Chains A and B, each alone.
Chain A
Amino acid sequence: MKATALMKLIYLEMFGHDMSWASFHVLEVMSSPKYLQKRVGYLGAVQSFRQDTEVLMLATNLLKKDLTSTSAITMSLPIVTLPHVITPSLALSVLSDLLPRLTHSNPAIRKKTIVTLYRLALVYPETLRPAWPKIKDRLMDEGEDPSVTAAIVNVVCELGWRRPHDFLPLAPRLFELLVDGGNNWMAIKLIKLFATLTPLEPRLVKKLLPPLTSIIRTTPAMSLLYECINGIIQGGILGNGDDSAAGEEIATLCVGKLRGMIMVEGDPNLKYVALLAFNKIVLTHPYLVAEQEDVIMDCIDNPDISIRLRALDLVVGMVSSENLMSIVGRLMRQLRNSRSPTTDERGQRPAVGAIEPAADSDDEAPEIAIRPSREPSSEPPLPDEYKIDVISRVLEMCSSNNYGNLVDFDWYIDILIQLVREAPVVRPVTMLDDSDSRSRDEPALDVSGRIGDELRSVAVKVRAIRLQATRAAEAILISAYNDNSSPLTPASGALRPIAWIVGEYASNLETPDGTLTALLHITRSSAPPEALIIFLQAIPKTFAFIAGDDQVIWTPERKTMVSLLMARIIHVLEPLAIHPDLEVQERAVEITELLRLAAEAASGQEPSSDEIQQDAPLLLTQAIPSLFSGLELNSVAVGAQRNVPVPSDLDLDELINPNLTNLLRTVDMTALDEPDEDGFETYYHQPPAAAAPTAGEPAINRLGGASEDAVHSYQQGGEESYLDPDILARRRAERLERNKDDPFYIAPTDAVSRSSTPLHNILQSNNGPDFDVDEIPVMQLELDRTNTPVTGQSSPKKPIIPKSRQRIQVAADETLVSGSSSPGNYDSESNLDAPQRPKLKGKSLLQVDSSHIGTISLEEGDHAASALDFERQQREEAEMAKAMKEVERLRLEMQRANERIQAAQGVSTETVVKKKKKKSKPVEAEAGKVPTKKKKSKQVATDEGQGEPSISADVVKPKKKKKKPKPEEGGSEHQESLVSGENGA
Chain B
Amino acid sequence: MISAVLVFNNSGQPRLTKFYTQLVPFPLFVPVLFPHHQLKLGSYDDISDTAVQQRLISEIFSLVSNRPSGSCNFLPLPPLLASSGTSHTPSSEHNDTPSLVTYRHYATLYFIIISTSTESPLALIDLIQVYVEALDRLFENVCELDLIFNFETLHAALSEMIVGGVVIETQLDRVVEGVKAQGKVAKRPVNEGRGAGPLGMGGNFAWPGR
Contact = CB atoms under 8 A, between A and B. Distances in A.
A469 to B, nearest CB: 32
Contacts of A103: none
Contacts of A111: 163, 168-169
B30 interface: no
Contact of A847 (B76, B98, B156, B210): B98
Interface in B166-197: 166-171, 174, 178, 181-182, 185-186
Contacts of A304: 67-68, 70-72
A268 interface: yes
B135 interface: no
Contacts of A847: 3, 21, 24, 96-98
A135 interface: no
| Chain B interface, DSSP helix/strand/loop, else mixed | mixed
Given A43-B152, A80-B159, A843 B38 contact: yes
Contacts of A267: 72, 208
Contact of A380 (B68, B85, B164): B68
B175 to A, nearest CB: 10
B120 A223 contact: yes
Contacts of B38: 840-843
A183 B80 contact: no
Interface size class on chain B is 35 or more
Contacts of A221: 210
B54 interface: yes
Contacts of B182: 35, 39, 73
A655 interface: no
B69 to A, nearest CB: 10
A972 B39 CA distance: 28
B123 interface: yes
A228 to B, nearest CB: 11
B206 to A, nearest CB: 13
Interface in B103-128: 114, 118, 120-123, 125-127
Interface string A250-266: 00000000000000010
| Chain A interface, DSSP helix/strand/loop, else mixed | helix
A130 to B, nearest CB: 19
Contact of A222 (B70, B185, B209): B209
Nearest to B48: A18
A158 B95 CA distance: 9
A651 B131 CA distance: 71
Interface stretch (A114-122, A287-295, A714-722, A963-971): A114-122
B98 A14 contact: no
Interface in A845-888: 845-851
Nearest to B125: A269
Contacts of B15: 14
Contacts of A16: 50-51, 53-54
A14 B16 contact: yes
A844 B170 contact: no
A841 B96 CA distance: 12
Nearest to A439: B31
B37 to A, nearest CB: 7
Interface string A90-114: 0000000000000000001001101
Most buried by B among A18, A40, A119: A119
Nearest to B124: A223
A709 B79 CA distance: 52
B123 A848 contact: no
Contact of B43 (A52, A73, A309): A52
Contact of B122 (A39, A82, A114, A226): A226
A269 B72 contact: yes
A841 B169 CA distance: 33
B50 A844 contact: no
A72 B160 CA distance: 13
Given A269-B125, A305-B76, A846 B23 contact: yes
Contact of A50 (B22, B85, B121, B152): B22
Given A79-B163, A840-B39, A844-B85, A307 B21 contact: no
Contact of B123 (A13, A188, A845, A849): A188
Given A111-B169, A847-B24, A14 B14 contact: yes
Contacts of A108: 160, 174, 178
A3 to B, nearest CB: 10
A306 interface: yes
A845 B24 contact: yes
B41 A849 contact: yes
A845 B178 contact: no
B56 interface: yes
A15 B72 CA distance: 28
A118 B76 contact: no
A271 B56 contact: no
B71 A306 contact: yes
B84 A307 contact: no
B74 interface: yes
Interface string B1-21: 101100000000111111111
Nearest to B99: A844
A303 B69 CA distance: 10
B151 A11 contact: yes
Contacts of B14: 14-15
Contacts of A35: 182, 185-186
B42 A51 contact: yes
A115 B164 contact: yes
Contacts of B84: 842, 844-845
Nearest to A185: B170
B165 interface: yes
A185 B182 CA distance: 25
Contact of B120 (A18, A226, A843): A226
Interface in A912-934: none
Interface string A280-323: 00000000000000000000000111110100000000000000
Given A84-B164, A309-B76, A52 B42 contact: yes
A221 B51 CA distance: 40
B61 interface: no
A521 B73 CA distance: 51
A847 B85 CA distance: 10
B31 to A, nearest CB: 8
Nearest to B181: A73
A750 to B, nearest CB: 42
A151 B41 contact: no
B87 A227 contact: no
A80 B157 CA distance: 12
Given A11-B151, A14-B15, A111-B168, 18 more contacts: A7-B152, A15-B13, A15-B14, A15-B54, A18-B50, A20-B45, A36-B185, A50-B42, A72-B181, A82-B164, A83-B164, A223-B122, A268-B71, A304-B71, A305-B76, A844-B85, A846-B24, A846-B98
8 contacts: A13-B50, A16-B54, A73-B181, A151-B167, A269-B73, A841-B88, A842-B88, A845-B23
Interface of A: 7, 11, 13-20, 35-36, 39-40, 43, 46-47, 50-52, 72-73, 79-80, 82-84, 108, 111-112, 114-116, 118-119, 147, 150-151, 154-155, 157-158, 161-162, 183-185, 188, 192, 220-223, 226-227, 230, 265, 267-273, 276, 303-307, 309, 380, 840-851
- Pairs A-B, 4 closest by C-beta atoms: A83-B164, A223-B122, A268-B72, A304-B71
